[in-house]
Amino acid sequence: MNCGMQHSLSRRSWMSCMGAATASLARAAPSGGVSSDRQLLLVWLDGGLSQLESWDPKPGTRFGGPFRSIPSVVSGIRISELMPQTARHTNKLALIRNLCTQDNSHSAGVARIQRGDPKNRGVDYPYLNVASARWLGPKAVELPASMVIKPGNGGFLVNETGFLGPRHAALALGDGKPPALLDRPADLAAAEDDLRLSLRDTLDRMGATARGSSLALANTETFKLAETLRRRRDLFDPARLSRNDIERYGDTDLGRHLLQARGLLEAGVRSVKVISYGWDSHGDHFNGSMSLMPQFDRGLSALLDDLGNRGMLDHVLVVVLSEFGRTPRINGHLGRDHWPEAWSAAMAGAGIVPGQVVGETVADGSEVKGDSYDIGHLFHTIFYALGISTSAIHYEQSGQPLPLAHEGMYPIKALLRKPPENAR
C-alpha cells in the first residue's frame, strides 16, 4: 500500500497505513540479533546480599555469625539455615562462590556489575537486562522486550540503556502497578485517540528523519506501548493472582514481584528484572537477615517450583545478583560492610548445568581459594546461556565495533551445558 501523503487520503486509509507501519516496526528483528526462545529473569538484591547468610555460610568460624548451615537436596551442597525452602531446589541451581570484583561502593558497583565491566570502561554500556533484550528482540511483539518490577516509582529507565539510546529503555512498574496516567481521559473517544496517535506517529517519524532524533522514535513507541498496556491490564491486576500463589510466594513486596515476574515471562516479555531494596546491612545485620532472608527464600523457592513444573526452566535463565557481597568481619554495629573480594551469585535454568557449586572461599570466607571470576566472566557465561555468542556478535557504536563483554575474560565452562571453545 502506498502510504505517501495525499490530500485525498481518507481517515480509514490513514489509520490503515499507520497501523501497518507500526506493526512492521514492532515485528522487525533486531539488527544483528539472534534467533532464540530464551528469556532472562534477573533478581537484583540491591545493597549487597551477604554470601555468608545465603550461598556460602561459614558456621563455627570467627566470621561465621550465629546461623548454621543446612544440607540441601544435592549431596555436599550446604547453604544457610535461613533458606530452608531453597535448599530443596539446589538441584536446579548453580552456585558461584568465587566472585572477586573491584568496586566496593554502590555508585560504582551497581553500574559495573550490571554493565559487565567491559574492557572499554569509558564507554556507556547498557545494563544486562537491556542488552539481552536488544540481542534477542521481542518475544511477544505487543509487549516491551524488557521490563522491571521495583518498589517505588516506575517509568522508563533510560539511564540503563547506555549507548543503545532511549528507544531500548526498559519499562519499570513501580510497586508492580501499571504506569501512571495509562487510561485515556473519559471525554476522549477511542476513535479520536487512535487518530491522534497516528498523527503523532507520523510527525515523530518526520522529525526523526529530518533531525536523526532517537527521542522522537522513542516518543512514538511510548504512546503505542500505552495502547498495548491498556489492553493487557491482566499483567497488573492483583485480583487475577490466586490467594494460594500469594501465600506460596509470600505477601511481601519481593514475593508479589517475583510472582508478577512469572506472569510477565509467561506473557512473553523477553527480559524481566526484579529489584529488591534493603540489603545494605551495615548495622544489626543478623536481625535484618532474619527478616529479609525468609522473604527471599520463600519467593525464590516458589518461583523455581513454578518454572520447573511449567517447563519454563528450559528457556528461562534466572540470575540472582547484587553489586557485591558483605564483609566476613563483623563491624562494631553488628553489621557487615561492602565486600567485592569474595562473594557469591546463583543461576538456574536455560543453558546452565544445575546442581553444582563452582569455586570456593577459604575457611573463614575472607578471600577466594584458588581461581576467581570477575563479572566479565559471568557476563560471557550469561550471554552464551541465552544463546548469544560473545565471540560472533558485537555492538556498533559510531562506526566502531565494541565487544559484548570484557575481551580479556571468557565464559565459565563448568556452568554451561554447551560451552563454546573459548570457555575455561
Name the grid cell of 47.
545493597
> pLDDT-derived band of residue 201, with 50, 70 and 90 as boundaries?
confident
CB 377 within 8 A of CB 412: yes
148 versus 5: which is more confidently predicted? 148
CB 24 within 8 A of CB 338: no
Q: Tell me the C-alpha distance between 201 and 210, whole Å.
A: 14
CB 201 within 8 A of CB 177: no
CB 270 within 8 A of CB 132: yes
Q: What is the pLDDT of residues 56-99, one digit of tens each?
A: 999 999 999 999 999 999 999 999 999 999 999 999 999 999 99
Domain boundaries, the chain: 32-177+240-415, 180-235
Max Cα–Cα distance, the chain, nearest Å:
83
In this predicted structure, what is the pLDDT of residue 218?
64
What residues pair up with 80 in beta bridges, in sequence order? 69
> pLDDT-derived band of residue 258, with 50, 70 and 90 as boundaries?
very high
SS3 label, residue 124: coil
Q: What is the pLDDT of residues 167-191, one digit of tens each?
A: 899 999 999 988 776 667 778 787 8
Question: Which homologous superfamily does the CATH classification assign to the domain defined by 32-177+240-415?
Answer: Alkaline Phosphatase, subunit A (3.40.720.10)
In this predicted structure, what is the pLDDT of residue 390?
96
Task: Name which of 222, 189, 188, 201 is nearest 15 in CA terms.
Answer: 201
In this predicted structure, what is the pLDDT of residue 215?
66
Q: What is the pLDDT of residues 204-214, one digit of tens each?
A: 778 777 666 66
Q: Measure the CA angle with vertex 348, ends 342 and 353; round to 5°.
A: 90
